[in-house]
Structure 1
Amino acid sequence: MSETLTPTTGDKATATGILLEDVTKRFPGQDKPAVGGLTMEIPRGSIVMLVGPSGCGKTTTLKMINRLIEPSSGRIILDGEDVTGIDGDQLRRGIGYVIQAGGLFPHMTVAANIAVVPKMLNWDKDRIQSRVDELLELVSLDPALYRDRYPKELSGGQQQRVGVARALAADPPVLLMDEPFGAVDPITRQRLQDELLHIQSELNKTIVCVTHDFDEAVKLGDWIAIFDEGAQLVQYDSPERILANPANEFVENFIGSGAGLKQLTLTRVNEVELASPITAGIGDLASDTLSRLQGAGEQNAVVLDERERPIQWLSRRQLSRLDRHTDAVDPKLPVISEQSTLNDALDTMLVSSTGAALVTGPRDRFLGLVTVQTVMEAITAANDAAQQGSSSAPVGLNSGGIRRGTETDGQAAVQDDAGAAAGQGTR
């Protein structure tokens, strides 16, 4: 097994490219294959979303990558190495896997759940504890509060965060996710999606994710693969080009109505300019903050805690009634992540009395404000950019012809691309 696929023992793992080469899966008693002759490039360091109707073969495709389901024929190549013949348990220790609702062991604490694979790899106790705390911080769970809890003591969203942490425990280069956020409420789902994007910005994994939610695919994916029955690739391209140029009526129907509005999900908050408001810290005099607001001609100030996380957003009137800023947290604070889409931002701002939203980055650190005007200006730019994408789509086809993006060509093109596909991304 290649060193790249082995969980790391020191430095962060580098991302790994994946190539499914003419992969077929036939289940006993079925006339048609669940996956038929699929060749598909998953570029190194990218997020690839597998979408399609129920029973189309997307989960089967995902599970064949780590050989939870064995392919009937074809090859699976990770970072240049054919892994279809190696020990399956060894392979899976080098690939993170996240399922719906986290899939945590109920009789084990959070720390013990996260430590499962490191223990299998014979890491020492101190190193495991350090890694557990590091990962809990990464998924925005305070280690002191959560490491000794059991899954039943966590909310659904918290369980899912622990599931992601467990999948990342041995720092695998590849992360597979099967409907990871399908069992949580919409608000928690948005936060978990943002958290995944934060994690990806820090760790640069190769991520393959199955979802039924096309909006989720647009938000998270660098590339989207749309499957029909038998894992037949109908279109494999960037979210921008799929929305602007659906390959056929099947794709149009799958996208659904309001494709124009879905363009709002193509631009994230970190791509627009943020405003810098007046800020204050816990213990500061409210009168000093009010004076600074009046001098700057602004109406509201953001109170930050010792870790620079926003906890209050106070108006001049509220400040005039205070002595010093306290550590009380406003549960209704209109906060969004820098990885949130413009659509998320607008949803949040519509319920905010200030017509703006507070933007946070990694570890929930405050970055600035996004306003309705900023979003409206960005919408025009996003719509223009959606028509001008130039990056080549990854290779994707079923036996009989290549499908790269929306264009169909001959089988020969696959031979030219396949040698580089496993180890080289196109973005």
Structure 2
Amino acid sequence: MSEPSGAITGASILLDEVTKQYPGQIKPAVGGLTLEIPAGSIVMLVGPSGCGKTTTLKMINRLIEPTDGKIVIDGEDVTQMDGDTLRRRIGYVIQAGGLFPHMTVAANIAIVPKMLGWDKAKISARVDELLELVSLDPAVYRDRYPKELSGGQQQRVGVARALAADPPVLLMDEPFGAVDPITRQRLQDELLNIQAEVQKTIVMVTHDFDEAVKLGDWIAVFDEGAQLVQYDSPERILANPANDFVENFIGSGAGLKQLTLTRVNEVELVDAVTATPGELASAVLSRLQGAGQQLAVVLDSRKRPARRLSRRQLSRMQVIDDTVDDSMPVVSDQSTLNDALDTMLVASSETAVVTGRRDVFRGLINVQTIMEAIAQANSSASADSEAPVGLNSGAIPAISVENAMAGEADGESAQHPVEEPR
């Protein structure tokens, strides 16, 4: 789950008995869905193909018009608003970023601010700010075209474009589904880093339950017709799946999935001896020996790790140069312990370098730390936070959100069919 560090800039969302019925279809694509999405949270929509996840997502910004029900964002019923005006207030990210190929990175990001009449100086400053936020150097990337970017870079630009006008809500439809697993992990970590800074309300569709566990503050598990089977925290869903459908959807290895609930920033990192290009190697070697450590981490001018140097390597050089080692095992402090362990195993290393926001060096994590964290992990569901309201009028007797919340106040569970954690 993401860790808030600043003011929440997202808006609450309420889908109040929302239905989508297509002509000629017997069953609705979405049937009487009520879903409460707290401001500043990440809510993951998961379920089998064709269950109504994307339809639900697109009804929030009315790319698909609901047949019935209300959609309320920050207290305002947006079903009564002009659709184009609404969409300019909501960020939207799809697979591969959806960038316009004939426009530069800067022009892609500037689309909505231009529509809103921002002046050129403000737009230019916002483009550079967002490129920094998604860890792309503005001087290098602002004038490039999408074809000159990797898939991961395109996706980062897509996120920057969605955030350009500082919308309170960000909708993401399988945003990382078209990239390789390593890039996917890095993009997930980057999204969590961004969310820690901007605190938007993010609703994301995914087929990957592991991704939902890693990113989601809350997970909504849908069955056919967007029937909400369970809506709760990742911890409680893993510990107490509502029924056989949810248990089967989670799949085997639910115990191992608990490892994705602990992040690198939740364990104690190992301090490291650091060096900078231009330093005498002998001075760095002396610090290493004094600290009783084997590896020094070389940092660039922005405190980002460039490479690691062993005592033997240092003894063979005079001055630290600015060489960058792209194969160095690096994980974000938003990475899960599972991610960190995978990174170390792939690199055949007992340690990995940990970075924070803007890729700034944080410390080291080692296998021993991860093993100790696993041994101490408590797999019981957390009862610290109360789940938001989620239900279907077609699955249970139709009740309003106000009545559901009143039921909670009376000690009854409005969260259907989630059981209270034991």
Secondary structure at the counterpart of residue 132 of structure 1: helix
Counterpart in the other structure of 1:155: 150
Structure 1 residue aligned with 2:391: 397
Residue in structure 2 matching 1:415, options 396, 403, 406: 403
Which residue number corresponds to residue 224 of structure 1? 219
Q: 1:353, CA displacement in angstroms?
A: 4.2
Instruction: Find the counterpart in structure 2 of residue 298 from structure 1.
Output: 293
Q: Deviations over 1:337-370 (max 9, x none)?
A: 0000000011012234440110000110000011
Measured against aligned partners, the alpha-carbon deviations of 1:275-311 in whole angstroms (never above 9, x if no partner) come to 1110001111111111111111111110000000001
Q: Are positions 1:91 and 2:68 aligned together? A: no
Give, in angstroms, the shift of residue 209 of structure 1. Answer: 0.2
Structure 1 distance, partners of 2:399, 2:64, is 27
Distance 1:380 1:393, change over 3 A: farther
Which secondary structure state, in structure 2, belongs to the residue aligned with residue 202 of structure 1? helix
1:16 to 11, 14, 18: 11
Give the partner amino acid of 1:417.
M
Alignment match, 2:234: 239
Provide structure 2 residue ranges, at least 5 long, that are not aligned to the other structure: 1-6, 409-414, 416-422
Preserved CA contact (<8 Å) 1:266 1:382:
no
TM-score with structure 1 length normalisation? 0.91
1:268 maps to 263
**SS at 2:377 equivalent:** helix
CA contact (8 A) 2:72 2:78 kept: yes
Equivalent pairs: percent with the same residue?
77
- Aligned to 2:79, the other structure's residue is in SS state coil
Report the Cα distance in structure 2 between the residues aligned to 1:16 and 1:387, rounded to whole angstroms. 27
Aligned length: 404
Q: Aligned partners of 1:85, 1:296: CA distance in 2, in Å?
A: 65
| Corresponding position of 1:140 | 135
Alignment counterpart, residue 188 of structure 2, candidates 189, 193, 196: 193
Residue 59 (1) aligns with residue 54 (2): yes
* 3-state SS of 1:351 partner: helix
Quote the RMSD (CA, aligned, Å): 1.9
Alpha-carbon contact 2:274-2:298 (below 8 Å) kept: yes
In 1, the alpha carbon distance for the partners of 2:121 and 2:247 equals: 53
- C-alpha separation in 1, matches of 2:404 and 2:346: 52
Q: Deviations over 1:1-35 (max 9, x none)?
A: xxxxxxxxxxx982100000000001122111000
Deviation at 1:419, TM superposition (A): 13
Paired residues for 1:320-399 under 5 Å: 320-384=315-379, 386-399=380-393
Cα contact 2:31–2:394 (8 A) shared by 1:
no
> Runs of 5+ in structure 1 lacking a partner?
1-11, 403-408, 421-425
Of stretches 66-75 and 319-328 in structure 1, the one that deviates more from structure 2 is: 319-328
Structure 2 counterpart of 1:117, from 100, 112, 115 = 112
Task: Check the 8 A contact 1:13/1:172 in 2, yes or no.
Answer: no
Paired residue type of 1:163: G
SS of the residue 2:97 aligns to = coil
CA distance in 1, matches of 2:97, 2:184: 13
| Contact 2:30/2:225 (8 A) holds in 1 | yes
1:102 corresponding residue in structure 2:
97
Deviations 1:67-100 (A, max 9, x none): 0000000000001111101100000100000001
SS, match of residue 318 in structure 1: helix
Query: Residues 99 and 86 of structure 1: is their aligned pair in 2 closer, same or farther, counting only changes over 3 Å?
Result: same
2:33 aligned residue: 38
Please say if residues 13 and 171 of structure 1, whose CA atoms lie closer than 8 Å, have aligned partners that are also in contact.
Answer: no
Structure 1 counterpart SS, 2:259: helix
Matched residues in 1 for 2:176 and 2:198: separation? 20
Is the 1:274–1:368 contact (alpha carbons within 8 Å) kept by the matching residues of 2?
Answer: yes
CA distance in 1, matches of 2:393, 2:404: 16
Secondary structure at 2:49 match in 1: coil
Q: Paired residue for 1:316, among 311, 318, 341?
A: 311
User: Structure 2 counterpart of 1:313, which letter?
Assistant: R
Deviation, structure 1 residue 380: 3.3
